[in-house]
Amino acid sequence: MVSKEMELKNLTPVLADGLMPVVKGTYRQLLFFGETIVMAMFLPYLNIPQRARRSTIIAVIITGLLGICVIIGTIAVFGAITAHLKFPTLSLARYISIGNFIERAEALIILMWIGGGFVKITIFHYCAVLALAQWLNLKDYRPLAIPIGVILVILSIILWENIVEVVELIKKTLPVPFLIIEAGIPAVLLIVAMVRRKGDKG
């Protein structure tokens, strides 16, 4: 909707500073894609577990492509300003103006973000409750839902004092522990499982 404002030359030069900045950016972005691993929690509960792998891969690819489209659009419109924007997608939606009539689409973006955030928090909350229940060998996970929810709300208030801290945490601190949790532990589990199964067979 802002294609009229796009200047594709904003996208060039490609790889001006070599490959390293791109790799660094990818490394950070991995965090968000790594979150797909929570889907593994649902694997035992699926009707057709065989299809899980395909759906997950398709979902990741679609999300990735959509993300790339949005980023290309934002950079083509805003150029160097993009780096200064806290919420580039929101700013992009604000910039939409078709015939001085269709304007200020940011409400849509906010609606989508709130909807998406709601779903995401729900899934993570569910996973946390489920994992705790399995860990404590409880028969039912439901009694844990409200206490964990309360803890989540409290943590969300006390963990960070301001938005700069949140951004700093995501940028600097989180990548290593998250990658260990998202990729390292599942990989170790997979290896253990494979070794054990071999042992069973042997």
Binding site for other proteins (CB under 8 A): 9, 12-13, 16-17, 78-81, 84, 91, 94-95, 97, 104, 114-115, 118
Of 61 and 81, which CB lies nearer to other proteins in the complex structure?
A: 81
34 near 179, Cβ under 8 Å?
yes
Gap between the Cα atoms of 190 and 53, Å rounded: 15
Sign (positive or negative) of CA dihedral 100, 85, 72, 121 = negative
Nearer to other proteins, 79 or 184 (CB): 79
Closer to other proteins by Cβ: residue 58 or 146: 146
Instruction: Measure Cα distances from 82 to 10, 12, 127 in Å.
Output: 11, 14, 35
State the amino acid at position 35 in one-letter form.
E
Least Cβ distance, residue 124 to other proteins (angstroms): 18
Give me the helix-helix angle, 52-78 and 88-95, nearest 10°.
60
Closest CB 62 distance from other proteins, rounded Å: 23
Distance of CA 41 to the CA centre of its chain: 16
- The pair of structure tokens assigned to 123 is 């899934």
Q: How far is the CB of 33 from other proteins (least distance, A)?
A: 27
In the complex with other proteins, the residue whose CB is nearer, 16 or 48, is: 16
Q: How far is the CB of 164 from other proteins (least distance, A)?
A: 14
Minimal distance in Å, beta carbon 115 to other proteins? 8
Nearer to other proteins, 33 or 42 (CB): 42
Reply yes or no: is the peptide bond before residue 13 cis, omega within 30 of 0: yes
